[in-house]
Amino acid sequence: MTKTINKKILIVEDDKDFLAILQKKFTLNGFDIIVAENGEEAIEITEREKPDLILSDVLMPKMDGIAMAKKIRETNKNVPIMFLTNLKDDNAAERPSEFDYLIKSELRIDDIVAKSKAKLGLK
């Protein structure tokens, strides 16, 4: 039986297959998961659900992850936001430094879960 952690993570990802894998892995690790497929949807969900962590893709339709994060910061200064990206160096200078960036191709799903737990102060 999975131990419940009582932490809510919003996963924002437009790749449905990758989203399903992340959702399953985090759920198996005891997290409550909410999902959004674009930045606009994520903003609405964040206001309503108050997640403990946002894990977001950078490149998405309607609104990219950086624009989404800046908009969320207008009303929620404290929620940690971690980006999953395939862009290693593209626009690195333009990335706001207050966020963590995880390169998808360099990590296993278990690594993403571990980094998320660490960000939330969990073991």
The model's pLDDT over 73-120, given as tens digits with 9 standing for 90+, comes to: 999 999 999 999 886 655 554 555 678 888 888 899 999 999 999 999
> In terms of C-beta distances under 8 Å and separation of at least 24 residues, what long-range contacts does 116-122 make, across chains too?
116/9, 116/26, 116/53, 116/55, 116/82, 117/29, 119/53, 119/80, 119/82, 120/7, 120/52, 120/53, 120/80, 122/5, 122/7
pTM over 0.75: yes
